[in-house]
Amino acid sequence: MTPTRFLIALAPFLLTACGGGGGSDGSSSGGSSGGSESGRTVTPQAAVERNINDFINTLAASQSGATDADLTGVWIEAAADIRNENGVVDGSSYSGDTIDTIYHVHFVMDNGNSIDVSDCSTALTLYTFHYDDSGNLVWSNFKGDTKPVGTLTNNKQIDFGTTAYTGSKTTSSTDTTFSGDYTSRWIKLNTSLQATIGRLSGSGFGKDIACANLSSRSGEVDGDEVESYSVLFRDKDAEWISSTSADGDEAPTRSGKRFTLDIEGANVTFTLK
């Protein structure tokens, strides 16, 4: 898949309106992700980095300059995974070039020399990051052979940059090799693990949200274009709210810290605090 075709397929799934000036809510306005900008080609990597930086910088604008005591709190990760995978799946040849766009809330407990991380679906520790000798965080259980290393800013942001990775997957039905570039930045939303981090509203919805995961995939698999998304919310009363491309709803879009999407045919808005 050429970079331009990849960007055209990716554009609705970057969950952002790039370019233009900032709105009063910290949003961006105007423009869209395209294959070129001012006469020059915009690569998929440049497009996802711009999207991630726009999101993190919007949220960072409301943070104070003081350093938090540690990393404990509720965080959101903005990430993109540009991935190529080839091999055999269910007895047939498989070839895929995809981009995953990811906004995932994480719950972090700082242990002093490491952090435990969990997500919306579990109170158990999903993985542990450790600090290296320079005080950076190492993503020890990352899926590839190369582990991302994150730099800290005021214990409120973690920048893992872009990690080029390779690996393989072998199961009873799968034998593939993969490579890709994973870009990830995290920002703290609240120091309390019990905090709500946003509001889901519109079309009969009015809920304070404690956790949210929004992800999308775009690209080409075995010669066919693929587009999919998945959204999962947990409100303050532990009720689950979800939407996927299989439901036939419209995919999410993002402007600043506000996401617009369909849930059960209803148009709703999720806004981070």
Residue 74 carries which side chain, given as an amino acid letter?
V
Cβ(59)–Cβ(187) under 8 Å? yes
Q: What is the pLDDT of residues 17-51, one digit of tens each?
A: 443 333 334 443 333 334 555 556 779 999 999 99
pLDDT for residue 65: 86
Tell me the pTM. Answer: 0.85
- For the stretch 69-103, pLDDT in tens is 999 999 999 999 999 999 999 999 999 999 999 99
Please enumerate in sequence order all residues whose Cβ is within 8 A of that of 67, keeping only pairs 6 or more positions apart, or say none.
Answer: 154, 155, 156
- Domain locations in the chain? 3-272
